[in-house]
Amino acid sequence: MRVKLLAVSDEVVPWIHSAQLVERCGDVDIILGCGDLPSEYLEYITTMLGKPCFYVRGNHDQAQGHRPEGCVNLDLRAQRWGKLQLAGLEGGPLYKPGAPLQYSQNDQWLRAIWLACKVFPHRACRRRRVDIVISHAPLYGIHDGSDPAHIGFAAFNWLARLLRPRLWLHGHQHRSYAPLQPRETRLGETLIVNVHPYRILELSL
């Protein structure tokens, strides 16, 4: 059995926000949002495709803003959907003190440890791994940038090695920032994918 997923982040893609979406993605099983997207965009996708949408918020999302209706916020959650085990972490690196949805390296370490504590009971009960982790920011040294606003989180590298998800999907690092940077990198058993502005992927169950 294979699951087909549409992952989106950071930028509204015109053909996705149009009638072409059903023509090109009608066979998608699940939608995953990796942050910095209008709520209306996620609502449109999940409504038009009639498929579930799970997301995390990015550093440009509004902390107290309108949440996308019909979509599930995965931040700090371990969520089962069908045969898939999902988990997520929101936010970007801290570069403007006091800004919402920005976290220091230490902050994200605490959040990653908290998520790991939530995930492990599921693993123990079901004797299975996490399938997909979604985040807005990338891992440290993998698809990130050298500037304070786009450096990755070291805690994510630790979490990826600990949980060994099959996929880790992120956004934040726009393709135009580093056109020659790879979109996919393997870390141990995990395939890490920069989904900006969208990726269509398949996963065998």
Residue 124 has pLDDT above 60, yes or no: no
For the chain, what's the residue count?
Answer: 205
Output the pTM of the full model: 0.95
- Structural tokens at position 51: 């498929």
Using the predicted structure, report yes or no on whether residue 189 has a pLDDT greater than 60: yes
pLDDT confidence tier of residue 126, bands split at 50, 70 and 90: low
For 188, counting Cβ atoms within 10 Å of its Cβ (0-12 exposed, 13-18 middle, 19+ buried), the class is exposed
Helices (H), 2-147: 20-25, 39-49, 105-126
- Which distant-in-sequence residues (6+ apart) come within 8 Å of 119 by Cβ? 78, 85, 87, 130, 163
What's the mean pLDDT when you consider all of the chain? 94
Percent of the chain exceeding pLDDT 90 equals: 86
CA dist 42 → 33, 106, 130, 150, 166 (Å)? 7, 30, 24, 24, 24
pLDDT tens-digit series, residues 72-116? 999 999 999 999 999 999 999 999 988 999 999 999 999 999 999
Per the CB < 8 A criterion, the answer to whether 55 and 68 are in contact is: yes
Q: Mind listing the domains of the chain with CATH numbers? A: 2-204 (3.60.21.10)
Ranges 44-53, 66-75, 126-135, 150-159: which has the least confidence: 126-135
When pLDDT is cut at 50, 70 and 90, the band that residue 173 belongs to is very high
User: Does pLDDT of 1 surpass 90?
Assistant: no
For residue 147, how many other CB atoms are within 10 A of its CB? 10
Residue carrying the six token digits 């995965």: 74
- Calculate the alpha carbon distances from 79 to 73, 106, 126, 176, 180 in Å: 10, 25, 13, 32, 34
CA angle, residues 151, 91, 60, in degrees to nearest 5: 95
